[in-house]
Structure 1
């Protein structure tokens, strides 16, 4: 899922919408929206005073029903243009997984998503174009309020590929097929360019599939806030081992693959006070081509937590990213006392203060950052604000 001005953050969001309506229809045939976020993040690491950072995230999206717009039966489209500016708080935090889900390595304007979807029968859809795999794969609604990137897509897949997989902020060409079963069952598969790259990225658009493809599938059941799903992924071409080399000194090529499981459970009346949802996710990988051999995330989301304030929410999440043997060997070579995992806990609260403004303070604590067992605890403080029209 995208989370995505952010780590310890203040986020401003500006939303507008322009809609074209079919006659006698309440749903828009065309929706155009813009969201602007601004984060103020504070990071305290290595026993030093907290340092502050500002980040920026602008999103412009368009969604259209092509049947009502141009008569193309069963078709729709989605366009998303992304612009990110600002600082990089994780340069001070020094974590492997990051602290803010809208922080980017290279601030700039990008074409983020551009896809068409076609209905095929009553229960099948085909989607093709530039596509964020985390919009549908390895996604959990109950973890969506949390700001740390680990609660978006599992780090063991986020660290793969020649330029990262097709996730925020750089996506890839993809074809996705989804089949629904009854009221709750689903199965979806996607084939994506192994090299992520879109218009505006440093490497430009990746159109040649030179490094092969990333294949991913997920199946399960989801209904009324409950979900149980399993997924698996792998690359069609081997990837470089992060440590081992051959006789010529070149990295040994390995199969990069993994699997994951997601469970979400809604408790009690979801329209009542303290409407609660639990989530747990876990993933594993080959442990040769990335710093991770696996990890897990778990937590709770509660809504309507302040009496009389229906938009108030609170969430707590914990996560561990288990380091691969090869990566720990690299750290030991630099004289670092390695830990088995990087560990973090996050607390966040969100409430709509006025009709237009939502504020979200956030606090994160990270232990064994970067896999260093002797590293001091890192503290990240965030305020995120969202302005909507």
Structure 2
């Protein structure tokens, strides 16, 4: 599925980029010991190209700037047990998936519309051992998240495609969030947790057309998750549902209107250490999720992989990750592929390998390669091979 054509960079976008560079310089400066706010900035730049298969082999540049501020409100305002978080992002550049032509995407900083956005802005209050968070919130920061998969750049390793494609315009995840209320509590002596959230079904924030959506006309996304430690391993699982029915992806009723269905799903994940060699450690992860099979293109998806860190004994900041993902296209999506004159595959699968290493204290270099089979779930389409070079520049200063 392809995003709309990329708009030209506006003067506002260039100004935002210049402001971001200034922020990087400011955050890189020495911090005052009594600073009430912890600041961080991360600039990520990718150059990606489809090396084989796909629609073209042009190199495309894209970037992502994150600026965050975290405040302990107890220290700043004598508001006991409260914290505030603000996260601004700016994206510019092209879309590598225009060349690759995949269904799930190939780069986790690619966006449909390049623009600066207020990504998150929330306040969190402790309630005993639990905490309540309210505001603009990225649900994937805590739900359906896998730390071990964090180095991989294909979007399905961030959040399962069956949930990422749900709702009127996707859930409250990158790059557009929504007003949310989240409650989280530990289980036992921090051996596990339970969490639940109610989130505006229409994701829209400052920087998107119309700004923050206060209407809640599309209802809510309700999601819950629980996790528990099994020795050194961690097991988690969750369920989600929208409060209002959604249009079927393809099915049409007798009157010619889309058939409407309840939109819901569930997922589970496991992360565990697999082996150690001195300071080197190999961790593994496996996840699976499914949907109702009507309101997103995906019936279910699975992801698995490993992370070796450090990857080289002589390079303490090096890391290597290998992952694979598969998304099963639902029956209605496969029917739409056939209606377009193609032979439908059961789904789309991929393998990704990536290596990252710090060149300096602030700069990380990361080459990445992905091999995608049955792009867009179409049989007979050549395998797509995508190469990406990622450069990350990060600064932080503590409160």
TM-score, normalization by structure 2: 0.89
1:367 paired residue among 360, 366, 373: 373
How many residue pairs get matched? 371
**Within 5 Å, which residues of 2 pair with 1:104-119?**
104-119=111-126
1:44 paired residue among 51, 61, 65: 51
**Within 5 Å, which residues of 2 pair with 1:378-389?**
378-389=384-395
Contact 1:367 1:377 in 2 (8 A): yes
**Within 5 Å, which residues of 2 pair with 1:132-171?**
132-171=138-177
Please tell me the root mean square deviation across aligned C-alpha atoms, in Å.
1.9
2:82 paired residue among 75, 78, 83: 75
Aligned partners of 1:197, 1:48: CA distance in 2, in Å? 31
Contact 1:274 1:302 in 2 (8 A): yes
Contact 1:45 1:92 in 2 (8 A): no
**Within 5 Å, which residues of 2 pair with 1:345-364?**
345-364=351-370
CA 1:288–1:187 in structure 2 vs 1: closer, same or farther (change >3 Å)?
same
Contact 1:81 1:111 in 2 (8 A): yes
Contact 2:54 2:100 in 1 (8 A): no
Contact 2:166 2:296 in 1 (8 A): yes
Instruction: Please give the per-residue CA displacement for 1:183-224, whole angstroms capped at 9, x wherever unaligned.
Output: 211000000000000011024211111010000000011488
Contact 2:55 2:98 in 1 (8 A): no
In structure 2, the residue matched to 1:185 is: 192
Contact 1:224 1:266 in 2 (8 A): no
Contact 1:125 1:178 in 2 (8 A): yes
User: Mean Cα displacement is larger for which, 51-60 or 200-209?
Assistant: 200-209
Instruction: Please give the per-residue CA displacement for 1:306-347, whole angstroms capped at 9, x wherever unaligned.
Output: 122111100000000000000000111111111101010000
In structure 1, the residue matched to 2:262 is: 255
1:32 paired residue among 4, 28, 39: 39
Aligned partners of 2:91, 2:42: CA distance in 1, in Å? 12
CA 1:215–1:84 in structure 2 vs 1: closer, same or farther (change >3 Å)?
same
TM-score, normalization by structure 1: 0.91
Aligned partners of 1:149, 1:203: CA distance in 2, in Å? 26
**Within 5 Å, which residues of 2 pair with 1:252-331?**
252-269=259-276, 272-331=278-337
Structure 2 unaligned spans of 5+: 1-19
1:226 paired residue among 215, 227, 233: 233
Secondary structure of the 1:130 match is strand
